[in-house]
Homo-oligomer: A and B are copies of this chain.
Amino acid sequence: MLIVKKFGGSSVADKDRIMNVARRCIEEYKKGHEVVVVLSAMGDTTDDLIAKAKEINPTPPKREMDMLLVTGEQMSVALLSIALDALGVPAVALNAFQVAMHTTSVHGNARLKRIDTERIQHELDDKKIVVITGFQGMDKYDDFTTLGRGGSDTTAVALAAALHADLCEIYTDVDGVYTADPRVVPNARKLEEITYDEMLDMATLGAKVLHNRSVELAKKYDVQLVVRSSLNENEGTVVKEEVEVEKKLISGVAADKNAARISLIGVEDKPGIAFKVFNMLAKENINIDIILQSVGRDGTKDISFTVEKDCLDEAIQIIEKNKDKMTAQKVESERGVAKVSIVGAGMMTDPGVAAKMFEALYNEGINIKMISTSEIRITVLIDELDADRATRAVHNAFKLEE
C-alpha cells in the first residue's frame, strides 16, 4: 500500500514532535507500506520569516518572499529525514525542485499544474521513506512559488493523486471532522465518514480542519482522505465520494464568525447592476459570500451580501466611491454577524430540513437576517452574539450527537 501522510507545522514544532512524527511514519513502513510524508514549516517559522522580511521591506517582492519562505519547509523535511535515520530507517528529503512540482507563476498563491513522480518512485523503490516539502512549487522560470493558505494539504492530496496512493492522511491537532465545533457544542460527535461535497461545504463555511482547495482536488482525482490527530491513535474521519446509505440527513453544523454584511439600498432595477458591483469588488480581491437580492419595489431593489470582516472597510470605500455607478440610494453595513450552516448530502431529498432548522432558531429567539441554500447546505446569517447558541440549538434539533 502507498500512503501519503501530511503533518502540519505544529506537529513538527520541536525535536520531540519531530521524533513522534518519525515514529508514526515508521509504524507503517515496518508493515511493508510505501510511505511519502509531506510537511509544513516548523511551528512559527513561516510567521517569523515574514516578520523578518517586513522589517526590511514593508512590501517585499513576492518572488523573493517565496524564495525566503520555502526555506521553512526545507528545514522540516531535512530534520525529519535526519530523525528517521536516527531510528534506523533510510529516508530522503526532497524539495519542490527535486520532485519537480510544477505550478503557475502566481507567487504567494500558485496552483499546482503537474508533479513528476520519477524521483519519488525511484526513492520508494530504494525502500526509503520520502519526505517532501509541502506548500511550495517551482514555475516555468525555475523560480520557487508557494501555494497560499492550506498549501501543504493541497501538496499532499496532489501527490497522492499523482502517485495513485491508496490513502492520503492529513494529520492535524483535532481527531477528525465533527458534527460541530466541540468547543461550542460539547456533545458534538466525530464523523466516521463524510462526502467530498459535504466536506467542501464544511470547509468553506468555517470548519477549519481542511482547506477547500485540497478537498476539491481530492474529489477531482478520487483520492481517499483521512483526517486524524497526530497526538493520538484515534481513527479519524474518512472523506470520500459516497458514504454509507443509512447515514443521517445532516453531517454537521458549521459556524463562521468572520463575516460582515453590506446592503445597497434602492438600487435601480435594471440589468447589469449586480454584475458591476461584484466585478468592482472582485478586482480588488474582495471575496463575496452570501448574496441576496430583494424583489423590486418602486423600480428599485436592495442587494445584500457578506464579506470577510477584515475586508469590510475596504469594500465600503470602493462602494462609496462608485455609489453613482451603482445607482444605490444608501449603503448600509453591519460588522457583528455570523454564518451558521447545516451541511448534508441527505437533505436534498428531505424538504423538512430547512423548516426544522428555522424552527430551532425561532425557539431560541434568534433572528435570521439572510438565508442562502444549496442542494446540500442551508446557511443563515444571524447576530454574531447568537452564533454559539444557534449552533448548539441546531445540533440538538437534528440530534447530531447520536
Chain B residues with CB under 8 A of A64? 78, 81-82, 85, 91-93
Contact string, A45-66, partner B, CB cutoff 8 A, digits 1/0? 0000100110111001101110
Residues A77 and B67 in contact, CB atoms below 8 Å apart: yes
CB proximity to B under 8 Å, residues A55-98: 55-57, 60-61, 63-65, 67-68, 70-71, 74-75, 77-79, 81-83, 85-86, 91-93, 95, 97-98
**Binding site secondary structure of chain A:** helix
Residues A81 and B52 in contact, CB atoms below 8 Å apart: no
Which of B60, B70, B92 is within 8 Å of A63, CB to CB?
B92
Chain B residues with CB under 8 A of A53? 78-79, 82
A100 CB, nearest partner CB in chain B, Å: 9
Chain B residues with CB under 8 A of A75? 49, 68, 71
Residues A79 and B97 in contact, CB atoms below 8 Å apart: no
Chain B residues with CB under 8 A of A85? 57, 60-61, 64
Residues B97 and A68 in contact, CB atoms below 8 Å apart: no
Chain B residues with CB under 8 A of A334? none
Residues B56 and A18 in contact, CB atoms below 8 Å apart: yes
Q: Nearest B residue to A119 by beta-carbon distance? A: B142
> Is A303 in the interface zone, CB < 8 Å from B?
no
> Is A140 in the interface zone, CB < 8 Å from B?
no
**A71 to B60 CA separation, bound complex (whole angstroms):** 19
> Is A254 in the interface zone, CB < 8 Å from B?
no
CB proximity to B under 8 Å, residues A96-153: 97-98, 119, 142-143
> Is A30 in the interface zone, CB < 8 Å from B?
no
Chain B residues with CB under 8 A of A52? 15, 79
Residues A57 and B82 in contact, CB atoms below 8 Å apart: yes
**A91 to B61 CA separation, bound complex (whole angstroms):** 10
A215 CB, nearest partner CB in chain B, Å: 31
**A177 to B26 CA separation, bound complex (whole angstroms):** 53
A154 CB, nearest partner CB in chain B, Å: 22
Q: Nearest B residue to A98 by beta-carbon distance? A: B142
Residues A82 and B56 in contact, CB atoms below 8 Å apart: yes
> Is A191 in the interface zone, CB < 8 Å from B?
no
Q: Nearest B residue to A71 by beta-carbon distance? A: B71
> Is A227 in the interface zone, CB < 8 Å from B?
no
Q: A: which residues have CB within 8 A of B?
A: 15, 18-19, 49, 52-53, 55-57, 60-61, 63-65, 67-68, 70-71, 74-75, 77-79, 81-83, 85-86, 91-93, 95, 97-98, 119, 142-143
A-B complex: 3 closest residue pairs judged by Cβ atoms: A68-B78, A57-B86, A71-B71
